[in-house]
Amino acid sequence: MSFNSFGRVFRVTTWGESHGPALGATVDGCPPGVALDEGAIQPWLDRRRPGQNRYTTQRREPDAVEILSGVYEGCTTGTPIQLMIRNTDQRSKDYGDIADSFRPGHADLAYFQKYGLRDPRGGGRSSARETAARVAAGAVARAVLDDLVPGLTMQGYMVQMGPHRVDPARLDPAEVDRNPFWCPDPVAAEAWARELDALRKAGNSVGAVIEVVARGVPAGLGAPVYGKLDADLAAAMMSINAVKGVEIGAGFGAASLTGVENADEIHMSGEEGGERPVYASNHAGGVLGGLATGQDLVVRFAVKPTSSILTPRASITRTGDAVDLVTKGRHDPCVGIRAVPVGEAMMACVLLDHLLLHRAQCGEGVRGVIGPA
Amino acid sequence: MSFNSFGRVFRVTTWGESHGPALGATVDGCPPGVALDEGAIQPWLDRRRPGQNRYTTQRREPDAVEILSGVYEGCTTGTPIQLMIRNTDQRSKDYGDIADSFRPGHADLAYFQKYGLRDPRGGGRSSARETAARVAAGAVARAVLDDLVPGLTMQGYMVQMGPHRVDPARLDPAEVDRNPFWCPDPVAAEAWARELDALRKAGNSVGAVIEVVARGVPAGLGAPVYGKLDADLAAAMMSINAVKGVEIGAGFGAASLTGVENADEIHMSGEEGGERPVYASNHAGGVLGGLATGQDLVVRFAVKPTSSILTPRASITRTGDAVDLVTKGRHDPCVGIRAVPVGEAMMACVLLDHLLLHRAQCGEGVRGVIGPA
Amino acid sequence: MSFNSFGRVFRVTTWGESHGPALGATVDGCPPGVALDEGAIQPWLDRRRPGQNRYTTQRREPDAVEILSGVYEGCTTGTPIQLMIRNTDQRSKDYGDIADSFRPGHADLAYFQKYGLRDPRGGGRSSARETAARVAAGAVARAVLDDLVPGLTMQGYMVQMGPHRVDPARLDPAEVDRNPFWCPDPVAAEAWARELDALRKAGNSVGAVIEVVARGVPAGLGAPVYGKLDADLAAAMMSINAVKGVEIGAGFGAASLTGVENADEIHMSGEEGGERPVYASNHAGGVLGGLATGQDLVVRFAVKPTSSILTPRASITRTGDAVDLVTKGRHDPCVGIRAVPVGEAMMACVLLDHLLLHRAQCGEGVRGVIGPA
Amino acid sequence: MSFNSFGRVFRVTTWGESHGPALGATVDGCPPGVALDEGAIQPWLDRRRPGQNRYTTQRREPDAVEILSGVYEGCTTGTPIQLMIRNTDQRSKDYGDIADSFRPGHADLAYFQKYGLRDPRGGGRSSARETAARVAAGAVARAVLDDLVPGLTMQGYMVQMGPHRVDPARLDPAEVDRNPFWCPDPVAAEAWARELDALRKAGNSVGAVIEVVARGVPAGLGAPVYGKLDADLAAAMMSINAVKGVEIGAGFGAASLTGVENADEIHMSGEEGGERPVYASNHAGGVLGGLATGQDLVVRFAVKPTSSILTPRASITRTGDAVDLVTKGRHDPCVGIRAVPVGEAMMACVLLDHLLLHRAQCGEGVRGVIGPA
The 10s digit of each residue's pLDDT in B317-343 is: 999 999 999 877 667 889 999 999 999
Among the partner residues C1, C224, C356, nearest to B361 by beta-carbon distance:
C356
Q: Enumerate the residues of chain D whose CB falls inside 8 A of the CB of residue B223.
A: none
Residues D84 and D65: beta-carbon distance below 8 Å: yes
Q: C355 to chain B, minimum CA–CA distance in Å? A: 8
pLDDT at D318: 94
With bands split at pLDDT 50, 70 and 90, how would you rate the model's confidence at A61?
A: confident
Partner B contacted by C227 (CB < 8 A): no
Q: Which 3 state secondary structure label does DSSP give B187?
A: helix
Q: Which 3 state secondary structure label does DSSP give B283?
A: coil
Partner D contacted by B24 (CB < 8 A): yes
Is B277 close to A238, i.e. CB distance below 8 A? no
Residue-averaged pLDDT of chain B? 93
Among the partner residues D3, D14, D33, nearest to B116 by beta-carbon distance:
D33
Partner C contacted by B75 (CB < 8 A): no
Q: Enumerate the residues of chain D whose CB falls inside 8 A of the CB of residue A32.
A: 361-362, 367
Whole-complex ipTM: 0.96
**Cβ-based neighbours of A6, under 8 Å, separated by 6 or more:** A12, A235, A236, A239, A349, B226
The 10s digit of each residue's pLDDT in C230-255 is: 999 999 999 999 999 999 999 999 99
Partner B contacted by A359 (CB < 8 A): no
What is the distance, to the nearest Å, from the Cα of residue D257 to the centroid of all Cα atoms in its chain?
28
Q: Which 3 state secondary structure label does DSSP give D123?
A: helix
Please report, rounded to a whole number, the percentage of residues in chain D having pLDDT higher than 90: 84
Total-model pTM: 0.97
Judge whether residue C329 has pLDDT over 70: no
Beta strand segments in chain C, E: 5-6, 11-16, 22-28, 65-67, 71-72, 75-76, 81-86, 153-161, 164-165, 208-215, 243-248, 266-268, 277-279, 287-288, 291-292, 297-303, 313-316, 322-325
Partner A contacted by D367 (CB < 8 A): yes
Partner C contacted by A80 (CB < 8 A): yes
pLDDT (average), residues C297-316:
95
**Cβ-based neighbours of C360, under 8 Å, separated by 6 or more:** B9, B29, B356, B357, B359, B360, C9, D1
Partner C contacted by D259 (CB < 8 A): yes
Rounded to the nearest 5°, which phi and psi values hold at B133? Answer: -65, -35
Q: Which 3 state secondary structure label does DSSP give B366?
A: coil
Is A235 close to B232, i.e. CB distance below 8 A? yes
Position with higher pLDDT, C110 vs C49:
C110
Pairing verdict, β A243-248 and B243-248: antiparallel
C-alpha span between B136 and A102 (Å, rounded): 40
C-alpha span between C253 and D259 (Å, rounded): 26
Partner B contacted by C360 (CB < 8 A): yes
Please report, rounded to a whole number, the percentage of residues in chain D having pLDDT higher than 70: 96
The 10s digit of each residue's pLDDT in B227-262 is: 999 999 999 999 999 999 999 999 999 999 999 999
pLDDT (average), residues A32-41:
98
pLDDT at C98: 75
**Cβ-based neighbours of B164, under 8 Å, separated by 6 or more:** B188, B191, B192, B195
C-alpha span between B282 and B263 (Å, rounded): 9
With bands split at pLDDT 50, 70 and 90, how would you rate the model's confidence at C94?
A: low
pLDDT at D330: 63
Chain B segment 27-66 residues within 8 A of D by beta carbon are: 28-29, 32-33, 66
Partner A contacted by B234 (CB < 8 A): yes
The 10s digit of each residue's pLDDT in A270-329 is: 877 778 999 999 999 999 999 999 999 999 999 999 998 989 999 999 999 999 998 776
Tell whether the torsion through CA atoms of A121, A127, A129 and A134 is positive or negative.
positive
Angle (deg, nearest 10), helices D38-48 and D131-148: 130
Q: Which of A213-222, B7-16, C49-58, D255-264 is predicted with the least confidence, judged by mean pLDDT?
A: C49-58
Judge whether residue C353 has pLDDT over 70: yes
Partner C contacted by B289 (CB < 8 A): no
pLDDT at D115: 97
Q: Which amino acid, one-letter code, is at B86?
A: R
pLDDT (average), residues D38-57:
85
Cα pseudo-dihedral A112, A118, A122, A128, rounded to 10: -70
With bands split at pLDDT 50, 70 and 90, how would you rate the model's confidence at B10?
A: very high
Judge whether residue D92 has pLDDT over 60: no
C-alpha span between A174 and A183 (Å, rounded): 10
Partner A contacted by D361 (CB < 8 A): yes
Is D79 close to A224, i.e. CB distance below 8 A? yes
The 10s digit of each residue's pLDDT in A119-135 is: 999 899 999 999 999 99
Partner A contacted by D364 (CB < 8 A): yes
Please report, rounded to a whole number, the percentage of residues in chain B having pLDDT higher than 90: 84
C-alpha span between B210 and D320 (Å, rounded): 55
A15 to chain B: closest CA residue = B225
In angstroms, how far apart are the furthest CA atoms of chain A?
76
Q: Enumerate the residues of chain B whose CB falls inside 8 A of the CB of residue A361.
A: 3
Please provide the distance, in angstroms rounded to a whole number, between the alpha carbons at the two ends of chain A: 46
Partner D contacted by B226 (CB < 8 A): no
Q: Enumerate the residues of chain A whose CB falls inside 8 A of the CB of residue B105.
A: 259, 262-264, 284, 288
pLDDT (average), residues C105-121:
95
Q: What is the DSSP letter of D18?
A: T
Partner C contacted by A77 (CB < 8 A): yes
Residues C331 and C311: beta-carbon distance below 8 Å: no
Mutate to test the interface with C, among B13, B361, B366 (most CBs of C within 10 A): B361
Give the residue among A230, A231, A215, A241 at the shortest CA–CA distance from A339: A241
Position with higher pLDDT, B130 vs D60:
B130
pLDDT at C90: 67
pLDDT at C49: 81
With bands split at pLDDT 50, 70 and 90, how would you rate the model's confidence at D52?
A: confident
Among the partner residues D230, D266, D306, nearest to C104 by beta-carbon distance:
D266
Q: Which of B319-333, B346-360, C100-114, C172-186 is predicted with the least confidence, judged by mean pLDDT?
A: B319-333
Pairing verdict, β D266-268 and D243-248: unpaired
Give the residue among C304, C307, C292 at the shortest CA–CA distance from C357: C292
Partner D contacted by B77 (CB < 8 A): yes
Q: Which 3 state secondary structure label does DSSP give D243?
A: strand
Is A117 close to C75, i.e. CB distance below 8 A? yes
C-alpha span between A284 and A133 (Å, rounded): 31
DSSP readout, C242-268?
TEEEEEETTGGGGGG-BHHHH---EEE
Pairing verdict, β C71-72 and C266-268: unpaired
C-alpha span between A330 and A351 (Å, rounded): 34
B356 to chain D: closest CA residue = D1
D113 to chain B: closest CA residue = B32
C-alpha span between C131 and C24 (Å, rounded): 9
Among the partner residues D2, D241, D252, nearest to C227 by beta-carbon distance:
D2
The 10s digit of each residue's pLDDT in A102-115 is: 999 999 999 999 99
Give the residue among B285, B292, B221, B231 at the shortest CA–CA distance from A304: B285
Q: Enumerate the residues of chain A whose CB falls inside 8 A of the CB of residue D360.
A: 9, 29, 356-357, 359-360
The 10s digit of each residue's pLDDT in D143-164 is: 999 999 999 999 999 999 999 9
pLDDT (average), residues A262-276:
88
Element at B198 (helix H, strand E): helix B186-201
Among the partner residues C14, C69, C75, nearest to A15 by beta-carbon distance:
C69
Mutate to test the interface with B, among D6, D26, D100, D127 (most CBs of B within 10 A): D26
Tell me the count of A-C CB pairs closer than 8 A. Answer: 161
Judge whether residue A92 has pLDDT over 60: no
Element at B26 (helix H, strand E): strand B22-28
The 10s digit of each residue's pLDDT in B141-174 is: 999 999 999 999 999 999 999 999 999 999 999 9
Partner D contacted by A366 (CB < 8 A): no
Is D368 close to C112, i.e. CB distance below 8 A? yes
